[in-house]
């Protein structure tokens, strides 16, 4: 017999990964990078969200953004609330710390399916982020709320944060710290990413979309590589909302994630 | 159906922005700048408040000041309580931190319509202020109390804190962190401030009045520019209480905010 | 209708300032300065307290001292408990921080009329002391316990801490932070101290007695100046307990405070 | 009559040391060292755990790992949950701090028999780890949950952390801080380790297995030395899971621990 | 009428100072100095405690030690639990901080008569230790548990920590912070120690035994001097447990403390 919270976690994970795979739309760039990430009408978060709520499997927002855009997404797409962030206005040496940006009780109040938090493994502030992560985790366990860890190794002792050994370390640390879902960097090849997925020992690994690729096709190849490596999906922001046709881009990515379409075929959906 | 707290927030915001616009009288200078901001009888806070309670839409005070002047304002004008501050007696490097200056329970006890707190986005102390902001926010959400963020980008990596891109960053961060009202800097032109307002995505933006302008007319032009840019109003201290006729100055500003009067016309109200 | 706590605060303030004025005996020197402040039998706190309990309007003690001397003062004179302190054994750079020295619940348990706490406005530790002050204030408000702030501007950016503009800044910050009573420095003249009193906007200002004056008469002139300036009284330690006749000294000071006696007349009471 | 919690502690310790001795399988390397400790299929924690659950007396895991592998171990072998850790991705000077990696309530929820936490005695962060240890201890005492201390003297003032006097200091500090079980370093000889065991004054001392020995036989000699010195067992990770035949290695070690077999005899069990 | 807690405190103090005087056996050296303080069988804490439980008036232990030796002392001698400590493995600059080593609830659970905590008055960490002390004090007051302060002035601004003025400062600070019993340094003469005792204003002063004296007779002369100066007793560790005949040494010291025996007479009891 499962515990009550285990039932809740199972149901919620099922909503986020309907066929065991997921395309999650990340939209926390307004704080992490500032409004310069948005051009033209995309400064209006509603304009972006409207276009993709019917296509993606979930959206990941900070609590304030979730609140003011609920008319657009509520009842249409599951929500993940990210409760940590930091600005890039900060002085350099303070950028390896993610600060609290809300609370698990906010996540529950907002009716979300999961809570997300970033850990910069290897940062001078690793201790501070671990205290934060495990506080979030403790609360989330009570409510059967899955925890998505943005597992990012970053710090003075890390030379290349995309190195497969480094990424794997972050992923291992993520599962040992109770992540129910992991978002991490692409390691450059299907072969190396397969090692990353293996390291996760069954916990779903989702690739972080990162900066806009040169072309959507390029990005779709990366997505395909992630799926071929056994990844459970991707968390994408800029490669959707900075595309001229966000809905189309989302559809193309979704086709690769869920249907395994070839990038060349999928890209046509972006019309 | 709204939650109880949503009803409360709606009612309170309606009181603060009666026609969707607002002139808020800010009066926290005694701590931020010290008594040198006041000359003659204006050192007596009652003398100032008496003159403007019938004109402005709300007043923003620190808790102690709200308490000792309640006979002047209570029942006449809505109150916003600011629960963070710092003195300029502090050594330079400690001035980018706003410390707690009261609690949300004080705000509720004082019968206020909203709580206000400052975040210096980009400060070395951003983490500390975020912990404070989100603690305030969590409490305020319980009571349906709107949160006004004094969103001020300041820090070693920021060259010009009035630059439109910098101000927009702060405003974006404010909405993502759940601000229900935003107070921020004027960016120098209607055109740029329109970008600021757009960035707020529907959350009311109020301009911070700042230091006393050369003439009231000059200031009214700024207010007009803010309103023309789609701003919801202004939060003004020195341009009212350092004016020889505070009540008149407040009336003139209010006329621009609420009636859209031309500055040249409005300035006549200041006698 | 007042709130319960407002009734309590009113009653307690009435006990501390029976005719709106007060001579408070301060006796926290044992920690702030060490036992070298005491000579001969005055090392025994009972010996000092016994002599003055019938003369002064209140005594201000740290919690431990209040506890061990209660047989001397209880039922005879109202008590104020100071809940912050620091030793001068500390290294120089740590002396601008007042640490917790008890809790509001101790103050209530001890049957005191008020709680006192020091804030060094302008110190590198201003943030820490503000967290302390507002924690004390929050608790005290619950119980209707008046808060006396020892408002002392001190810090690297402050050149002269007795300067009227500096003292006024501290006093303004005190009222804005909810002080119900203020203890601060004498600014050197009736004229300047009048500005200090005005800055307090009706909150009682009590002068900090400071180091022993050359003669009692000198000190009485200062007390007279404070009263002439509109001050509500004085908080005196060394100018009483280091006097050869503490009871007489207290009587003389009291006569100036409460009866407005001329110093030359009052000094005779010290025998 | 025992207290409730004393009964619980007795039962649980009995499960962990069935005959007063124990071979505990440690498996927290994924965070402490990263996935580079694992080669081939051992990256899959299930593959390792499956092989040894029938042989060892208990397993020690971090909470997240305990959760995702419960199908393998639950009901087969007692669990110890370690609630502190740190990565070696951290900058050098931050590696002498163990951060929280879960909570005592997680340990209880997971059905574990004991909680484990590391203290680096002598670290610059000793104060921080003591706050953590005693918080864990306080919670654990409530539930009758034994506390295993990984007692590791490490810090700038320690020249040789395997020195018997240094190890004994850590062990003494462990018993004074309420450890119910101690894991510490081997001191190089039976003679010196006997001093370590004596220092523990009856609290079970388990040797930390450390890095993989040149040969299993070498390691068995160390285990034998520990047992001969009066140690209650060993906590072994790499010398089991990095062995080509983990189950066999575990059997060999167990034979030395529980049956006192000669290393030369025991090593045959590893096939 | 006393409060419940006052009754409890009275009873407990009566047990600790049966005739108003006390010989307390201190046994926290295992953490403060490490096991090198113990030679031969004295590494076994039971061996030491067994010998003295019938002689001394109380024993002072850390919580873990109290727990594992309860069969030796429980029901035979009152217990004082010390809840702060630090190792000398720490880097030099971290040794002036005493960290938490248990909680008041542990002290109550262990059936102790008092709680003890160290404050290094004058340390850079004075603030941290004051927060700790007053937290302990608050909890202890609830239960009527007397608080023993190990009042040790130590810090960069202190030249000679045995100087009478320095020791008196610590003692004064101890009584002002609510110590019910004070343990402090011997100041070198009866005359100066009399000043120390006077400074305590009636709170019992117990001398800290310190390092082993050249001979027991030498030490007894110091004890006699303390008693002659009005001290209420001594807290002794090394001068008992490092003596070849701990029981005899304890008897000799007790005879000086309780019967006022001349050292030359008393020393004979040590055989």
- Which chains have at least 3 CB atom pairs separated by less than 8 Å from chain A? B, D
Q: Which residues of E touch C30 (CB under 8 A)?
A: 172-173, 175-176
Q: Chain A partners of D69 at a C-beta cutoff of 8 Å?
A: 201
DSSP secondary-structure letter at D256?
Answer: I
Task: Locate the chain C residue with the closest alpha carbon to E199.
Answer: C43
Q: What does the alpha-carbon distance between residue D33 and residue D42 come to, in Å, rounded to a whole number?
A: 14
**SS3 at position D40:** helix
pLDDT at D218: 98
For D132, name the nearest residue in chain A, comparing CA atoms only.
A131
In sequence order, the 6+-apart residues with CB closer than 8 A to the CB of D209 are D26, D219, D234, D235, D236, D237, D238, D239, D240
Kindly state the tokens that stand for C245: 């006749």
Nearest to A107 by CA among A231, A239, A8: A8
- pLDDT > 90 in chain A, percent: 96
The whole-chain average pLDDT of chain B stands at: 96
Rounded Cα gap, residues D189 and D197, in angstroms: 12
Q: Which residues of C touch E127 (CB under 8 A)?
A: 86, 94, 97, 99
- Nearest-CA distance D59 → chain A (Å): 15
* Residue ranges in chain D assigned as alpha helix (H): 4-16, 29-32, 45-52, 63-68, 70-73, 104-109, 126-143, 164-176, 190-199, 216-228, 238-241, 246-254, 263-266
CA distance to partner chain C, nearest, from residue B8 (Å): 23
| Angle (CA) B4 B7 B12, round 5° | 130
Pairwise CB contact (< 8 Å): A43 & B201: yes
* The token pair that represents E79 in the structure block: 């217990």
Residues of D in contact with E62 (CB under 8 A): 176-177
- What pLDDT score does C271 carry? 81
**pLDDT in the model for residue D2:** 84
Which residues of A fall within a CB distance of 8 Å from D99?
Answer: 126-127, 130-131
Q: Which residue of E has its CA nearest to C93?
A: E124
Residues of B with CB under 8 A from a CB of A: 121-124, 126-127, 130-131, 134, 137-138, 141, 153, 155-158, 165-166, 168-179, 195, 198-199, 201-203
d(CA D206, CA D182): 6
pLDDT score of E163 more than 80? yes
Q: Which residues neighbour B163 within 8 Å (Cβ) at sequence distance 6 or greater?
A: B187
Given the residues C183, C224, C247, C251, the one annotated as active site: C183
Residues of E in contact with D179 (CB under 8 A): 64
Q: Do E168 and C65 touch (CB under 8 A)?
A: no
Residue D46 CA, chain-centre distance (Å), reads 19
Q: Residue D62's closest CA among D94, D107, D17?
A: D107
Q: Using 50, 70 and 90 to split pLDDT, how confident is the model at E74?
A: very high
Q: Nearest C-alpha of chain D: how many angstroms from A124?
A: 7
Cross-chain Cβ contact A173/D28 below 8 Å: no
Q: How far is A92 from chain B (nearest CA, A)?
A: 8
pLDDT per residue as tens digits for the range B80-118: 999 999 999 999 999 999 999 999 999 999 999 999 999
Best residue in D136, D172, D202, D203 for a mutation probing chain E (most E CBs within 10 Å) = D172
pLDDT band at B70 (very low <50, low <70, confident <90, very high): very high
CB neighbours of C200 closer than 8 A, spacing ≥ 6? C171, C174, C175, C182
* Predicted TM-score (pTM) of this structure: 0.96
CB-CB contact of C44 with E201 (8 Å):
yes
- Three-state SS string over E218-266 comes to HHHHHHHHHHHCCCCEEEECHHHHCCCCHHHHHHHHHHHHHHCCCHHHH
Is D173 within 8 Å of E30 when comparing Cβ atoms?
A: yes
Contacting C with CB below 8 Å, chain E residues are 121-124, 126-127, 130-131, 134, 137-138, 141, 153, 155-158, 165-166, 168-179, 195, 198-199, 201-203
Q: What percent of chain D has pLDDT over 90?
A: 96
**Cβ proximity of E196 and E205 under 8 Å:** yes
Write C137-143 long-range contacts (CB < 8 A, 24+): C137/B102, C137/C177, C137/C178, C138/B103, C138/B105, C138/B106, C139/C103, C139/C104, C139/C105, C140/C104, C140/C107, C140/C115, C141/B106, C141/B109, C141/C5, C141/C178, C142/C5, C143/C5, C143/C8, C143/C104, C143/C108
pLDDT of A1 strictly over 80: no
The residue from B21, B51, B183, B212 that is catalytic is B183
pLDDT at A39: 84
Kindly determine whether residue B99 and residue C153, on different chains, have CB atoms separated by under 8 Å: no
Q: Are B226 and B196 in contact (CB under 8 A)?
A: no
The catalytic residue positions of D are 183
**Overall residue count recorded for chain B in this entry:** 271
Nearest CA to C121 out of C97, C143, C139, C102 is that of: C97
Residues of chain C with pLDDT under 70: none
pLDDT at residue D267 is higher than 80? yes
Query: Residue C36 is nearest to which of E123, E131, E165, comparing CB atoms?
Result: E165
**Per-residue confidence (pLDDT) for residue B33, from 0 to 100:** 95
D49/D60 Cα distance (integer angstroms) = 11
Among A65, A59, A57, residue whose Cα is nearest residue A30: A65
For E90, which of D138, D157, D177 is closest by C-beta distance?
Answer: D157
**Closest in B89, B100, B103 to C153, CB measured:** B89
**Which residue of A122, A153, A176 is in closest CB contact with D64?**
A176
Tens digit of pLDDT for each residue in A65-110?
A: 999 999 999 999 999 999 999 999 999 999 999 999 999 999 999 9
pLDDT value for C41: 83
pLDDT tens-digit profile of D199-241? 999 999 999 999 999 999 999 999 999 999 999 999 999 999 9
Phi, psi of D245 (to 5 degrees): -125, 80
Asked if E103 lies within 8 A of D201 by C-beta distance, the reply is: no
Task: Calculate mean pLDDT across residues E223-230.
Answer: 98
- Among chain C residues, CA nearest to E200: C44
How far away is chain C from the Cα of E61, in angstroms, using its nearest Cα? 25
Q: What is the mean pLDDT of chain D?
A: 96
Chain D residue with Cα closest to E99:
D127
pLDDT in tens, E215-225: 999 999 999 99
Interface of C with B (CB under 8 A): 121-124, 126-127, 130-131, 134, 137-138, 141, 153, 155-158, 165-166, 168-179, 195, 198-199, 201-203
pLDDT at E42 over 90: no
pLDDT at residue B30, rounded to an integer: 95
Structure tokens of B211?
């230091």
Q: What residues of E are labeled active site?
A: 183
Q: Percent of chain A scored above 70 by pLDDT?
A: 100
- The partner residues of C235 in beta bridges, in order of sequence, read C24, C208
Digit-coded pLDDT (tens) for B212-241: 999 999 999 999 999 999 999 999 999 999
pLDDT higher than 80, residue B126: yes
> Which pLDDT band, with edges at 50, 70 and 90, does B39 fall under?
confident
Model pLDDT, residue C39: 84
Residue of E nearest to D136 (CA): E102
What the block records as the tokens of A174 is 């993520």
Taking an 8 Å cut-off on Cβ atoms, the answer to whether E176 and C31 are in contact is yes
Predicted confidence at residue E2, as pLDDT, reads: 85
D and B in touch (3+ CB pairs within 8 angstroms): no
Three-class SS of residue E31? helix
Residue C125 CA to residue B63 CA, distance in Å, equals 21
Q: Which residue in chain D has the smallest CA separation from E64? A: D178
Between CA E127 and CA D6 the distance in angstroms is 37
Which range is least confidently modeled, A39-43, A74-78, A185-189, B25-29?
A39-43
Its ipTM equals 0.95
From the list B90, B105, B109, the residue facing C122 with the nearest CB is B90
Could you please report the per-residue DSSP string of C57-94? SEEEE-HHHHHHTHHHHTTTS-EEEE-EE--TTS-GGG
Confidence of residue D115 (pLDDT cuts 50, 70, 90): very high
Dmax of chain C from CA atoms? Answer: 53
Instruction: Please state, in angstroms and rounded to a whole number, the distance separating the CA atoms of residues A176 and C50.
Output: 66
């Amino acid at each position: 017999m499962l515990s009550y919270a285990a039932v809740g976690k199972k149901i919620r994970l099922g909503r986020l990964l309907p066929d065991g795979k997921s395309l999650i739309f990340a939209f926390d760039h307004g704080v992490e990078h500032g409004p310069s990430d948005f051009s033209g009408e995309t400064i209006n978060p509603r304009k972006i969200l409207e276009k993709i709520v019917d296509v993606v499997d979930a959206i990941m927002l900070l609590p304030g953004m979730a609140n003011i855009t609920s008319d657009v997404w509520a009842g249409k797409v599951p929500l993940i609330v990210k409760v940590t962030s930091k600005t890039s206005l900060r002085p350099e040496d303070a950028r390896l710390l993610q600060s609290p940006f809300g609370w698990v009780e906010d996540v529950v109040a907002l009716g979300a399916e999961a809570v997300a938090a970033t850990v910069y493994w290897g940062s001078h502030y690793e201790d501070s982020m671990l205290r934060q992560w495990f506080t979030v985790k403790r609360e989330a366990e009570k409510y059967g709320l899955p925890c998505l860890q943005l597992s990012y190794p970053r710090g003075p002792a890390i030379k290349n944060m995309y190195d497969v050994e480094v990424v794997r370390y972050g992923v291992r640390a993520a599962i040992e710290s109770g992540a129910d879902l992991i978002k991490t960097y692409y390691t450059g090849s299907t072969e190396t990413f397969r090692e990353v997925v293996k390291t996760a020992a069954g916990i779903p690994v989702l690739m972080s979309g990162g900066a806009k690729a040169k072309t959507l096709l390029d990005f779709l190849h990366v997505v395909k590589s992630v799926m071929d490596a056994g990844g459970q999906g991707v968390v994408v922001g800029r490669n959707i909302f900075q595309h001229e046709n966000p809905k189309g881009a989302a559809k193309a990515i979704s086709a690769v994630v869920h249907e395994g379409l070839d990038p060349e075929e999928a890209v046509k959906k972006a019309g």
